[in-house]
Amino acid sequence: MKNKRKTISKEFIVKGKGLHGGKDSFLILKPNFNSTGVVFINTDNGEKIILSPSAVCALERGTVIGEGGFKVSTVEHLMSALFAFEIDDVEIEIKGNEVPAMDGSAKFFGEMLNKIPIIEKEEESDYFNLETPIEMESGGSYYKMEKSDCFKIECVYENNHPLIKRQVLELEINKENYLREIAPARTFGFDYEIEYLKKNNLALGGTLDNAVVLTKDSVMNKEGLRFKDEFVRHKILDLLGDLKIGGLRFKEIKITAIRPSHKANYDLVKLVTARSVYGKTK
């Protein structure tokens, strides 16, 4: 049954450099048989962060969560895969302070989750109960949530760059579509931003192996784009990862997101959790 809380059946390891900090991190994802959601554990001292809106402490070019002095950066790609696979509860032991960038997408995380049997527990999962449509604007971003026959997202991303212009994608969100259409879409940036980002201690680990870098009229990556509309697909990837912060699943809801950003995604999550009825599915 799809309404049972889920966890992974066995642990798996993730290691690599962080996109922004550029330092090595080592993660072990483990089954969590308690209904405590996504829990990050600092292997150095046992400190914990429980994923929730109150744990978010920064949203500049990525989502950062923290508790006290323990912080974990760039969680959104891993959280996106957990959202798509409906993993409610998992413990993530981490040596370091950032989720590894891998290839800049959620492809590795999705493939690993797809290989591991998922365990359904006795407890029922919490779904967002949308009673009336929601519309929200935040910093140039617009969102609408309305009833639908399935959970789907329509995303619009606009930029004057000749490879972007106006990209629109509507997609039902399920495990299969996620693996094929969303997970491989990489994070991206513009060549003129690189100096600014590095001066602000961002993208220190960024390379052409873990990000798409756009020049004035092309991309620097020799292999080119994975999708013609890879940019809007990555925006959906990020939105799913930020939605995971709320700890709720979604069904029979359509989310329209126009020019989404991490900050605006977070504002949407806060609105959803404030207005939602935390009921159990039947």
**Could you give phi then psi for residue 189, rounded to 5 degrees?**
-160, 175
Residue 129 counted as domain residue: no
Kindly name the residue from 20, 77, 234, 262 that is annotated as catalytic.
262
pLDDT of the residue at 189: 87
pLDDT of the residue at 280: 37
Same domain, 158 and 106: no
pLDDT of the residue at 182: 98
Same domain, 271 and 154: yes
What is the domain extent for residue 61? 4-124
Residue 87 counted as domain residue: yes
Same domain, 89 and 144: no
pLDDT of the residue at 203: 63
In 3D space, the residue among 59, 63, 62 whose CA is nearest the CA of residue 51 turns out to be 63
Residue 280 counted as domain residue: no
Q: What does the pLDDT look like over 227-239, one tens digit per residue? A: 999 999 999 999 9
Which pairs from 62-68 meet CB under 8 Å and 24+ separation? 62/19, 62/20, 62/262, 63/241, 63/242, 63/245, 63/262, 63/266, 65/40, 65/245
pLDDT of the residue at 121: 93
What is the SS3 assignment for 183-229?
CCCCCEEEHHHHHHHHHCCCCCCCCCCCCEEECCCCECCCCCCCCCC
> Residue 255 belongs to a domain with what CATH number?
3.30.1700.10
Distance (Å, rounded) from C-alpha 76 to C-alpha 57?
Answer: 13
Instruction: Note down pLDDT in tens along the chain; length 282 residues.
Output: 358 999 999 999 999 988 877 788 999 999 999 999 999 999 999 999 999 999 999 998 889 999 999 999 999 999 999 999 999 999 999 999 999 999 999 999 999 999 999 999 999 998 898 989 999 999 999 999 999 999 999 999 999 999 999 999 999 999 999 999 999 999 998 888 777 677 776 666 778 888 999 999 999 899 999 999 999 999 999 999 999 999 999 999 999 999 999 999 999 999 999 876 444 333
Q: Is 77 a catalytic residue?
A: no
pLDDT of the residue at 279: 40
The pTM is what?
0.93
Coil, helix or strand at residue 126: strand
Same domain, 138 and 173: yes
Q: How many domains does one find in the chain? A: 2
Q: 233 near 181, Cβ under 8 Å?
A: yes
Which domain-ending residue is among 124, 157, 175?
124
In 3D space, the residue among 218, 275, 235, 261 whose CA is nearest the CA of residue 59 turns out to be 261
Q: What does the pLDDT look like over 153-174, one tens digit per residue? A: 999 999 999 999 999 999 999 9
The H or E element spanning position 88 is none
Residue 218 counted as domain residue: yes
Residue 282 counted as domain residue: no
Residue 226 counted as domain residue: yes
Q: Which two tokens stand for residue 131?
A: 């009673």
Residue 115 counted as domain residue: yes
**CB neighbours of residue 79 within 10 Å:** 25
Same domain, 120 and 141: no
Q: 49 near 28, Cβ under 8 Å?
A: no
Distance (Å, rounded) from C-alpha 58 to C-alpha 89?
Answer: 23
Same domain, 157 and 221: yes
Same domain, 144 and 120: no
Q: 133 near 253, Cβ under 8 Å?
A: no
